[in-house]
Amino acid sequence: MTDPIRIDVWSDIACPWCYIGKRNLENGLAVAGQDDDAPQVEVVYHSFELSPDTPVDFDGSSADFLAQHKGISIEQAHAMNDRVSQIARDQAGLHYRFDIQQHTNTVKAHELTHFAKEHGKQLEMTERIMSAYFLEGRHVGRIDDLVALAEEVGLDGAAARAALESDAYLPAVRADQEQARGYGINGVPFFVVDGKYGISGAQPAEAFTQVARQVWAEHQV
């Protein structure tokens, strides 16, 4: 039995390019999955905080945060959001709602994805949080809101709350970040394939189809 390809993905919940990259990865793997000898792939998500000093309840819009964080004008921030929204829609079929987005600190969301991973639902939890944040304008930084999202994917709400309130999975978040530093990752999304190939940025779906086929062929040797 051939071992599956392992794709480790470093991303941040609040990174618009990470959601585009996630969807492009899924779409690219779906195409490869139609091959007669379809690649078997395991995808694992890892935590990366782009702005760890962000408050849980940021006072302002997404554009306000972008302007402050990058030192640009509010007009430039709106233009950047418009550009990424168009790419998200055209490349990945995602309809971002920066107008209702609630910018927040993402560490608790990352902790929740590790809790979900231990219960076999990391992929579902990651998708649910990103969808809630980018498409629905829901808050993903507060424990109450995260527990509600956990329950939506079938996780036990009381157990999720206990994990978040106790910081039980904060060491796992920090371990991911330390591993990213070891790899020299300083921007996300970043994909590590089989521990030896690095792919930076939200590459188009076709790129992921190609790499899946190439690496799967290497597994057959």
For residue 203, which of 66, 8, 27 has the smallest C-alpha distance?
Answer: 27
**Which of 131, 123, 128, 173 lies closest to 147, judged by CA?**
128
pLDDT score at 220? 87
- CA dist., res. 95 & res. 117, Å (int): 27
Domains contained in the chain, CATH given: 5-220 (3.40.30.10)
Distance of alpha carbon 82 from alpha carbon 90, whole angstroms: 12
Question: What is the model's pLDDT at position 12?
Answer: 98
Distance CA 143, CA 168 (A): 13
In this prediction, residue 2 carries a pLDDT of 86
Q: Name the pTM for this structure.
A: 0.96
pLDDT of residue 133: 98
pLDDT tens by residue, the chain, 221 residues: 789 999 999 999 999 999 999 999 999 999 999 999 999 999 999 999 999 999 999 999 999 999 999 999 999 999 999 999 999 999 999 999 999 999 999 999 999 999 999 999 999 999 999 999 999 999 999 999 999 999 999 999 999 999 999 999 999 999 999 999 999 999 999 999 999 999 999 999 999 999 999 999 999 88
Omega before 189 within 30 of 0, i.e. cis: yes
Q: Which two tokens stand for residue 129?
A: 């949080």
pLDDT of amino acid 213:
98
